[in-house]
Structure 1
Amino acid sequence: MRITKIELGMLRVPLKTPFRTALRTVEQVEDIVVRVQTDTGHVGYGEAPPTAAITGDTHATIIRAIRADIAPVVIGEEVADIDRLVHLIQGALAGNTSAKAAMEIAIFDLWAQLHQVPLCQKLGGDLAVITTDVTISVNDVDTMVADAIQAVAQGYRALKIKLGKDARLDVERVMAIHAAVGSGIALRLDANQGWTAEQTVRVLSTLESAGVHPELVEQPVPARDLDGMCYVTARVSTPVVADESVFSPADALEVIRRGAANIINIKLMKAGGISGALRIADIAAEHGMTCMIGCMLESSISVAAAAHVAAARPTVITKVDLDGPSLCQYNPVEGGVMFQGPQIALVDAPGLGIRHVRGVEKLSD
């Protein structure tokens, strides 16, 4: 199976409600879709969202990186030599982790299709049903409480609460949600780098003193402030998650070495794809640390790939935050993983199992 052509398209899917964090507000998924064709007729799918505030990637940089740098080095290559393809993709240019992730997802999809097995099995795992949380966007207190109650009614047992704009109001938000949904629902706080270390400790101490015990707090301080992450981790009982602080295996090692977090959030778009995600998970396992797997605002193309990675490392990736498709008004992907509320079921089909993606606007060369 040899790579013969790479096509790019734009996928736009409106969200059910605006996605609001301390960093941005988004109203629809607008992702670049990669379609890799082969001489056997097999097609591999990948996807990359523009998340300039986090990865630095925009539509323009993703398109340029794939067309100008990555496509020329992989066209004509054999899918069977996955290690060589990963080396070519990662070595094509510096940075551009989302573009690299989209290409890796498509290549790994084809690699598992070549072997006629689901991707998770080629990665060392097996088919599974995994359970995701769902995001509660930062908003006024009443709206966030209503959104939380609705999510619980839909079957979600873990809520990822976006915070980080106003520490005092954030305490009110969390306490109101806790009072509304009860102690049986896990509250995962995500400040998206919006607090200082001192604010984080005050927020969590206030909540814990009031009997509210979050399951975790994700990236409370700026990504490069590892001193701040260490300060928080040493002073609160709530587990601290490193998200934007960890893009690479080297970042993961530094966070572990310094004791800057209790959990690492792996995202394919930060790690540059499946290969980097697996290396981070394996490094965490070697040091006795667990991981979460998350996503940006992505459709079920790349979320399917993340789900297969989670199924391949279930003892390490113990928390799942793959709700991107659930936030969309509809699923444009035919085949692939199956979503039913908080449940994501991997299917017994080769690769990612994607048959077609509706509504992709082909981008002219």
Structure 2
Amino acid sequence: MKIQDIKMGRISTPLKHGYKVGKRILTFSDEIVIKMITDTGEVGYGSAAPTPLITGETDNSIIGAINYIKPEIIGLDIENIEEIMKVLHNSIHGNNSAKAAIDIAIYDLLCKKYGIPLYKFLGGYKTSLTTDLTIVNDTVEQMVGKSLKAVMDGYTCLKVKVGNHVDFDIEKVKAVRKAVRRGIKIRVDANQGWRPKEAVSIIRKFEDLGLDIEFVEQPVNAWDIDGLKYVTDNVSTKILADEAVFGPSDAFKIIEKRAADLISIKLMKCGGINNAIKIYNMAENMGIRCMMGCMLENRIGITAAASFAASKSNLVKADLDTMLYFDKCAIVGGAAVEGNTITINDSPGLGISDIIGWNEIS
């Protein structure tokens, strides 16, 4: 089964509510989706989520990167994973979301060839997982209101985004904890918003107030590994590395220095499933647990991420809530999302059967 062609399309999915990213309010999720076609006529699906503030990629850069990579992998046998991945990652620097789309489609095809779902192909540890729900950085009143609604809707784990102002950050987390019952897990995502000593002071305040924070995500700048280690070494609360970990080499630096207690794996950051496996294996071998995260991705990306998470015993946490923000989805098949539960089906590959309103990019 050899790669014969890659077709690209653009899909725009309306969101139920505006989603705040930096200074922008998103009302649609725009993604590039691909159909990888083989010489046997089989189709593999992949997708790339443009996230300029994190990966530096836009929809146009993703299209350009895939067009650049395409001739390098046409004609390669999808069973020769090592060869394909070497060509994929050596063909162009960076552009990890574009690479992830191609990587996901390759794994979809490989699993279809053998008639096995992706989660079983990768390990088959479980068939479902529970995701948190993100409470975006807003006023105290808005964040408390959204947290209470989430709990009423059955969510048991909230990820509270902060990082704009030290005093306000403490008040926001304190208010959310006061509003929800103790049985609700709270994760705090600072989005690189604090300096190392500042982060230690804030997290110790959380501890002194007894706010029972499960972990704090990326408290300092992604490039500041020593600063991240300083925070990890000086607080009792667990610290998770997110933006600090793109590919396997980043994960190695974090693990080598013990700069964080946990590592977040995102397919759009690391370049797909193949690199995610490498990061996961390093972390597991060194006794560091992982969380599966995502960008603002549609059902293709979420199914791939959830399948990876469901396949591994050391992926103990999930932050895969973006499907909950979509008003509707053009992707037919894939993982089922019901509240905070994501269930993987036993269809071969990703289980994606169609893309409604496919608008091919010439």
> What range is the shorter-chain TM-score in?
over 0.9
Distance (whole Å) between structure 2 residues aligned to residue 262 and residue 310 of structure 1:
18
Question: Match for 1:49: what amino acid?
Answer: A
Q: Return closer, same or farther for 1:207/1:340 CA change in 2, 3 Å cut-off.
A: same
Instruction: State the AA in 1 paired with 2:136.
Output: S
Q: Give unpaired runs (5+ residues) of structure 2.
A: none
Match of 2:10 in 1: 10
Structure-2 residue corresponding to 1:42 = 42
Name the structure 2 match of 1:337: 335
Relative distance call for 1:233 and 1:23 in structure 2 (3 A) is farther
- Residue 283 in 1 paired to residue 282 in 2? yes
* Alignment correspondent of 2:356: 358
Describe how 1:54-203 pairs up with structure 2 within 5 A. 54-68=54-68, 70-203=69-202
Of 84-93 and 338-347, more deviation after overlay is shown by 84-93
What is the alpha-carbon distance in structure 2 between the residues aligned to residue 24 and residue 188 of structure 1?
23
- Which structure 2 residues correspond to residues 197-276 of structure 1 after superposition, within 5 A? 197-276=196-275
Q: CA deviation at 1:22?
A: 5.1
Q: Distance in 2 between matches of 1:250 and 1:192?
A: 21
Q: CA deviation at 1:213?
A: 1.6
Question: Cα deviations across residues 197-216 of structure 1 (Å, max 9, x unaligned)?
Answer: 12212221222111102101
User: Aligned equivalents of 1:51 and 1:164: distance in 2?
Assistant: 19
CA distance in 2, matches of 1:76, 1:271: 25
Moved more, 160-169 or 283-292: 160-169
2:330, 2:37 → 1: CA distance? 20
| 1:4 to partner: Cα distance | 1.7
- Give the superposition deviation at 1:20: 2.3
Residues of 2 paired with 1:159 and 1:152: CA distance?
9
What is the match of residue 320 of structure 2?
322
Q: Is the 8 A contact 2:43 2:109 kept in 1?
A: yes
1:21 CA drift (Å): 4.9
Equivalent position SS for 1:215: strand
In structure 2, C-alpha distance between the alignment counterparts of 1:154 and 1:41, rounded to whole Å: 44
Write out per-residue CA displacement over residues 169-220 of structure 1, whole angstroms, 9 at most, x where no aligned residue.
Answer: 1111111111111111111111111111122122212221111021010001
Asked if structure 1 preserves the Cα contact closer than 8 Å seen for 2:193 and 2:219, the reply is: yes
Distance 2:110 2:43 in 1: 10
Is 1:32 the counterpart of 2:54? The answer is no
Aligned-residue Cα RMSD (Å) equals 1.4
Q: State the 1:25 CA deviation.
A: 4.0
Contact 2:223–2:244, Cα closer than 8 Å, also in 1: yes
Deviations 1:48-71 (A, max 9, x none): 111111111111211111012x11
Structure 1 residue 363: deviation in Å? 1.4
TM-score, length-scaled by structure 1: 0.96
Counterpart check, 1:51 vs 2:51:
yes
In structure 1, C-alpha distance between the alignment counterparts of 2:284 and 2:346, rounded to whole Å:
27
The superposition leaves residues 289-340 of structure 1 with CA deviations (integer Å, 9 ceiling, x where unpaired) of 00001000101101111111112212x1100001111111123221111110
Distance 1:339 1:139 in 2: 26
Give the residue type in structure 2 aligned to 1:313.
K
For residues 349 and 79 of structure 2, the distance between their equivalents in structure 1, rounded to whole angstroms, comes to 13
CA contact (8 A) 1:47 1:302 kept: yes
In the aligned structure 2, how far is the partner of 1:148 from the partner of 1:341?
A: 14
Q: Match of 2:346?
A: 348
Q: Percentage identity across aligned positions?
A: 43
Whole-angstrom CA distance in 2 between matches of 1:161 and 1:72: 43
Q: CA deviation at 1:23?
A: 7.1
Between the aligned partners of 1:230 and 1:82, the Cα distance in structure 2 is 35
Report what 2:303 is aligned to: 304
Q: For the residues of structure 1 that align with 2:158 and 2:339, how far apart are their CA atoms?
A: 13
What amino acid does structure 2 have at the position aligned with 1:343?
Answer: T
Distance 1:7 1:116 in 2: 23
Instruction: Using the TM superposition, name which of 123-132 and 170-179 deviates more.
Output: 123-132
CA distance, structure 2, for counterparts of residue 93 and residue 119 of structure 1: 26
My pick for the range that moved more, 293-302 or 74-83, is 74-83
The alignment covers a number of residue pairs equal to: 362
TM-score (norm. length: structure 2): 0.97
Output one character per residue of 1:75-123: Cα deviation in whole Å (capped at 9) or x when no partner: 2222222222222211211111111001000110000000100011111
Structure 1 residue 266, shift from structure 2 partner:
0.4
Contact 2:125 2:312 in 1 (8 A): no
How far does residue 41 in structure 1 lie from its aligned partner after superposition? 2.5
Amino acid of the structure 2 residue aligned with 1:357? I
Residues 22 and 164 of structure 1 are in contact (CA less than 8 Å); yes or no, is this contact kept in structure 2? no
